[in-house]
Amino acid sequence: MKMIRAVVRPSKAEEVVDALAESGCVALTKMDVIGRGKQKGIKIDQIYYDELPKTMLMIVVEDDAAECVVETVTKTAYTGNFGDGKIFVSPVDEAYTVRTRSCGL
């Protein structure tokens, strides 16, 4: 299993979630976060924004579905500007369902 953490623009989050649902990925966790990337914020006129609002999507999928999820997110979240986001893929050793205490997705 793979854990995919996708940090995207808030304005693109629903579009990404809808595209993931269409591709068959329906289980995810979505949260509002604040952060900055390599550009260390953004300056608009005289105002400097050190950290910017983003949306993080956390998705756990079987190994063979990870590439499809990454492709869907990159295609849907893309604007071509700084701050489009970042995707992190990590291995998941185990997953448990609290209610049933069963192991696995």
Range of the domain at 14: 9-91
Beta bridge partners of 55: 8, 32
Give the Å distances, CA to CA, from 41 to 4, 24, 53.
Answer: 24, 34, 11
Q: Identify the residue whose tokens are 């995810």.
A: 28
User: The domain that contains 82 carries what CATH number?
Assistant: 3.30.70.120
Amino acid at 99: R
103 lies in some domain? no
Per-residue pLDDT of the chain (105 residues; tens, 9 = 90+): 999 999 999 999 999 999 999 998 878 999 999 987 776 767 777 777 778 899 999 999 999 999 999 999 999 999 998 889 999 999 999 999 999 999 987
- Structurally, the chain folds into a number of domains equal to 1
1 lies in some domain? no
d(CA 56, CA 50): 18
